[in-house]
Amino acid sequence: MELLIITGLVGAAVFMLIVLVMEQGAKKRLVFEERLKAYSLQEKMENAIQEELSVPLSERLTRPLRRVVRALPERAMPAITLEGLSTKLMLAGYPGNLTAAEFVALRYSLMLLIPGIVFVLILFSGYSLLHAGMLIFFSGFLGYFIPDLFLKIKRTSRQEEIRRQLPDVLDLLTVSVEAGLGFDAAVSKVVEKMDGALPRELGRLLQEIKMGKPRRESLKDLRDRIAVEDVSNFISAVLQADHLGVGIGNVLRLQASDSREKRRQEAQEKAQKAPVKMVLPLVLFIFPAIFIVLLGPALLNIIDTFSKM
């Protein structure tokens, strides 16, 4: 009987000890989780602050104004019009990080601002009412189309830059893949080693893939964002190779060779057009100066001779 009581007491003591240890462990775990949560929250706040400070000061100051400015076009204009402008901005590389609504606001602001400046200048001039009205109308027309012209120039220059960079990008991709890297790692190497419009777009491609977007969809979106025929052919070849299971190294080597050959042919074509383009400057600027230098003294002597007769 006494042995049974002692055994029960020992068991109860052991049970209480286990409960006490588990309770202490739970308290420590709870304290640790609270500290970890506080640290994570603090880290998120610090990252948010750092991210905010990494934005240029001018953009941080104009952000509220831009939010107000783009609100009206978003409500007033059809969605299909804004989508078309978004496509144009995307092809131009989003100059100034403008959205479609902000671009519309900029267009109408210039449409009012430029005629206003012209009107102020006309007040201090002697233009007639008809001429003043024509100038104001023309300046408003100009202010409306300047953003579109700027967007078209940016798109053309960006696509030309991408076209120039493509052979070098393909060469680096080919070397990286043949050295044993995967396609994604080779693209990462291009982003690391090169700078320009095409490497930036490839960097965005990598970010989309890392966020879980399928590679095929990311490559198709890249093709739509760039809209350059050579890049579209390259992406189509990569997609086809991925679909058929063909080695990507052979595809990249062929694409790089074709791209270099096309760039060489374009350089030869430009060289052949150079003499034709030089004719007009020669006729308008070079030849008159040569004639003045060569015939000027002789003409002065002839004039002097006839004046003495």
> pLDDT digits over 257-269, tens only?
888 888 888 888 8
pLDDT at 91: 86
Is 205 a residue whose pLDDT tops 60? yes
Q: In the chain, what are the domain boundaries?
A: 28-68, 69-157, 160-266
Using an 8 Å Cβ cutoff, are 252 and 176 in contact?
Answer: no
Mean pLDDT of 63-74: 63
**End-to-end alpha-carbon separation of the chain, Å?**
160
CA torsion sign for 188, 189, 190, 192 is positive
Structure confidence at residue 71 as a pLDDT band (50, 70, 90): low
The mean per-residue pLDDT over the stretch 160-170 comes to: 90
Measured from the Cβ of residue 231, the count of other Cβ atoms closer than 10 Å reads 23
CATH class, 160-266 region? mainly alpha
Alpha helices (runs of H) in 211-286, residue ranges in sequence order:
215-226, 229-244, 248-281
Per-residue pLDDT tens digits for 72-124: 666 667 778 778 888 888 888 888 778 888 888 888 888 888 888 888 888 87
Q: Is the pLDDT of residue 213 over 70?
A: yes
